[in-house]
A and B are shown apart, each in its own frame.
Chain A
Amino acid sequence: MKSEQSEVDISVVASKERIRLITEGKLPWELCQQMMRLEEKDEDRFLKYMEVLQERVPWKEKILCRMTEKLYVVRKDDGSRIVKCICGQEYGDYRINWKLSCRIRVRRSKEEWREVMSMEEVIPNPNLVESREYYCPGCFTRQGVEVVPVGYPAIFEILPDIDLVYRMHDKPLEDESPDWFQDKTADLTSKWAKEV
């Protein structure tokens, strides 16, 4: 039950440079495996990771956490926390499903799926599901995809508990509040409902 941490130097194996390289998909596999084999992970990883991410974006707002490959939650000067794309496009309050700030392409036929799927024999049944591709309105990166029945709510993939993670690292955010860990998507859809 108690095994000793193998003799590795965590400060090297999980250095900020290696975190940067693995984040960019450039760390050699052997060194990735070294990171995997760490029995006790470097406890300040999250803070180092945020620094690495911050250095990769062309804007200055502080990154609070990461949502997808190119989407981040950042804190604005006015105290709001919003989702922002690496391209600079801002999506609004992170507690509202960011997909509802995207451009959306729906595919509802096998013909349309053939453009994105390469194995003919296993293309889905359009009578059961549709696919939704969520594009950034700024750079048109495909930020997300979901394959669901028509009428299924857009899936809010992650609602991070940002206050909790910073408190765990002994760096509590000055504006922490239980309200930051609330799904506010309905605030937007209720507004939209008034238009129909």
Chain B
Amino acid sequence: MDWRTKFDSLKSRIEARNRIITETGHYWGIDKFALLDEDPVKFNRFNARLISAVMAAREIGKYVAASPAATGMGELVFGLLTVEGDCMAASTGLVGHSATMPVVLESFCELGYDVNPGTKHGDIWECNDPYYGAPHAADCFTWVPIIYKGTLVGWGGGVNHIGEVGGMVPGAVPPIAPNVFVEGYDYTVTRSGENDTFYPWWEDAWKRRTRAGEMNILDNKMRFAGCGMIRDRVLEICEEFGVEYTIQCMYEILEWERATMEKRLQKWVMPGKYKVPFLQPVKYKGKLGMLIPEANKNWLLHWPLVFTLGNGRATYDFSGASNQDWHHYNMYMGGLRFGINLAWYPVFLIGENMHTANIYLMDFIRPPGSVANPTNPFVGTPSSAVMGCRNGQGAMMRALSKALWGRGYVEETFVFEASDYNMYGMSGTFSNGVPWGMSNFSLVGAQHSGARAFMDGGVCDASGQNPETDYGESEDWETIEPPLLNIIRGVTTDYCVHGKYRGGIGYTLAFMVNEPGQFFQVNDSCSMNAEVTTHCIGPSGSYPGQGHAQVYIKKTNMPELIKKGEYPGSFREIKQWIKDGKLTCEEYIINQGEAPPRQLEHGDIYCILAHSVEGWGDPVDRDLYRIEEDLNFDYISPEIAKRIYSAEVVTSDGIYEIEPEATAKARQEILKEREKNSVSAIEWWKEEREKILKKEVGDEEVHVLFEQAIANEKWGNYFREFWGLDKDYSF
């Protein structure tokens, strides 16, 4: 049996593919590259044609859209899929999202829609439902069949992240969405048009179900335009190369890429078991009350990823993950695969094809009913994609970095905070009564990186989702958020994690609210780690990354100051102006992590403090010249240089310098203090064990975390063994 066998459905065909891969270890059993060996020039010419088709789809398609994210940041991706849905060539752009295309296509096949109602040339298909494989409702997937003279050759697909999904809380990723009924406009696997034309009711649904209908319709047209371009190019390629060659060659390319990644995984990483847990706080208590009582609580979600590498395979083990529940952090497979590929692509994919063959090198342990594998089809999902990022990209990059470093590929160590997008959603009513809603995710475009094992983290040097992007144009974004006047964009002094090499310096955006009309509210989503650190582990003696905060400064005199031509240039200056009385306000509110909707008025200031990422190594080992540079760039203050790095700072002609001898002495004192303030491991173990036995572990959500994690047999045994507890111990 091979792909040429006549199958009665695509579901049967996928089952055959999976069986053959398991039996042979090769994609569709291809262990020889017949077409490549026969004519390598033709083979490569064929592949180049496919790649140019998907690239052209993105570069031309994006100009059909109107949102700043699509046109300015290029937040979209197009891919060519095999008949079974494997992406064998994707464009640049939102590369991780190409990994969700196979998951949605598999749902399409599982639902049997290829048989009933069937599909034909000119059909347009859509899905943004995480239950069926989309990362979350904001990531809309469009695809079209490619049928050459009656033979299904594959699919052209496109994804982009839209700006408003129509949830109870406005924006693209609502920070409060306990169930699918309030999280926004999720559409299941749906045919949205025929004969290359959308059904009229499909476009009407965007207008009625979301707050930015016109923008979303244009995004949809953009996706379809790109898909149609891919389809037409592939049909031309079939005409030139023959349909049999086209299908077989696509499979050979996928097998080549799978085998290449397998080899790299074997040769580049230190095999072993890596634990990279993190915590995710969710704060609903007091916000939903009588409305949705089952969700009126807080959680501290446990994501205990254990990542095993060896022999060219990778296992993701989520044993001990918190239970699924009525919040927006339930993660489906589409979200996870999206996140995984964001980390895999930059590390292991170096050739020309962006593809999804790596999935055949992975194994997953996802306990059913947990946040890592929801069984309740109605729990909320807006952050399914975000959790995919935090596990697949954030946690895994940390493991991969250590694995590459351990094998000697020091230059490949690289981490950044995958999911800290600090996306903010807005809605309002202008003074003329026109309602509006949107979100801004420009901070996704340029994040900070963590320290590498040989250098400091970078400032605004990385974008996890879209390696090609940047922030886009500030003025473009202001057109979709008229009440927000951008007054600060820049790094924030002292907002970093310290170490021998420090993490990137955190970023601040600040706005003055300007004539918002009848009503204006803003919420903050995708800003993780409220009240904890970004991950549980800091590498080699550094602390883990610090999370986000928003600062709301109410009823200020900023409008008057701006009229005089004065406005602050940094967050530190805002604080100083308040201290000096120059900037007056009635309230100064700090919120860590995600923020529920908050009404803002003319003259209010809204600041986003957008995270920092971990350092590497012990701060007392930091080279003095690096500290001097940080001081002179205003990345850190003299106070912090002294407190964290024991640096004795002096100034000379306005330039900071460090006294080496005094600093060396101060560092010796720090080491003595460490000795004095620490205890032996067994003392620590006994004291901490006592707290477990007395259940003195903190707030209620911590108790729930332990109850649920220990109920998992594997994690429970690990916990009991660590603390020397009876086999029947439960929390």
Contacts and interface: CB of A to CB of B under 8 A. Distances in A.
B682 interface: yes
Given A186-B721, A189-B724, A119 B644 contact: no
A69 B616 contact: yes
Contact of B674 (A29, A103, A106): A103
Nearest to A104: B684
A32 B454 contact: yes
Interface of A: 1-3, 19, 22-25, 27, 29, 32, 35-36, 39, 41, 43, 45-46, 48-50, 65-66, 68-70, 99-106, 115-119, 121-129, 131-135, 139-161, 164-165, 168, 181, 183, 185-186, 189-190, 192-196
A121 B531 CA distance: 10
Dominant secondary structure at the B interface: mixed
A153 B684 contact: no
B506 to A, nearest CB: 7
B643 A115 contact: yes
B408 A49 contact: yes
Given A103-B679, A127-B698, A158-B406, A122 B271 contact: no
A3 B352 contact: yes
A101 B684 CA distance: 11
28 contacts: A1-B257, A2-B44, A24-B454, A49-B407, A69-B621, A101-B681, A103-B678, A116-B498, A116-B543, A118-B494, A119-B495, A119-B612, A121-B609, A122-B495, A122-B546, A122-B592, A142-B620, A142-B674, A149-B300, A149-B706, A150-B697, A151-B706, A153-B719, A155-B277, A157-B275, A183-B273, A192-B685, A193-B724
Contact of B402 (A104, A105, A158): A158
B351 interface: yes
Contact of A104 (B275, B310, B681): B681
Contacts of B672: 140
Interface string B322-338: 00000000000000000
B86 to A, nearest CB: 14
A41 B267 contact: yes
Contacts of B697: 149-151
A158 B673 CA distance: 28
B279 A129 contact: yes
B409 A41 contact: yes
Interface stretch (B55-63, B102-110, B547-555): B547-555
A23 B270 CA distance: 16
Given A129-B279, A146-B544, 15 more contacts: A1-B256, A25-B623, A48-B408, A69-B540, A119-B492, A121-B549, A142-B541, A143-B618, A145-B542, A147-B532, A147-B544, A148-B536, A150-B692, A189-B722, A196-B689
Given A25-B501, A168-B266, A189-B685, A104 B300 contact: no
A156 B275 contact: yes
A154 B542 CA distance: 16
Contacts of A161: 270-273, 310
Contact of A150 (B279, B549, B619, B696): B696
B73 interface: no
Contacts of B544: 145-147
Rank and list the top 10 A-B pairs by shortest CB-CB distance, nearest first: A193-B724, A49-B408, A125-B531, A142-B541, A103-B678, A153-B722, A69-B540, A145-B538, A186-B721, A161-B271
B268 interface: yes
B686 interface: yes
Interface in B680-717: 680-682, 684-686, 688-689, 691-692, 696-699, 701-702, 705-706
Interface of B: 44, 47, 253, 256-257, 266-268, 270-275, 277, 279, 281, 300, 310-311, 350-353, 402, 405-412, 453-455, 492, 494-498, 500-501, 506, 531-533, 536-544, 546-549, 551, 590, 592, 609, 611-612, 616-621, 623, 636, 640, 643-644, 671-672, 674-675, 677-682, 684-686, 688-689, 691-692, 696-699, 701-702, 705-706, 718-719, 721-725
A186 B718 CA distance: 8
Contacts of B721: 185-186, 189-190
B705 A192 contact: no
A118 B496 contact: yes
Which residue, B273, B405, B492, has most C-beta atoms of chain A within 10 A?
A: B273
A66 B268 contact: no
A39 B698 contact: no
Given A1-B47, A19-B408, A103 B675 contact: yes
Nearest to A107: B677
B537 A155 contact: yes
A15 to B, nearest CB: 13
B542 A151 contact: no
A160 B692 contact: no
A124 B541 contact: no
Nearest to A101: B681
A140 B671 contact: yes
Contacts of A144: 537-538, 540-541
B675 to A, nearest CB: 6
A63 to B, nearest CB: 12
A196 B724 contact: yes
Contacts of B497: 117
B189 to A, nearest CB: 30
Given A142-B674, A144-B538, A119 B506 contact: yes
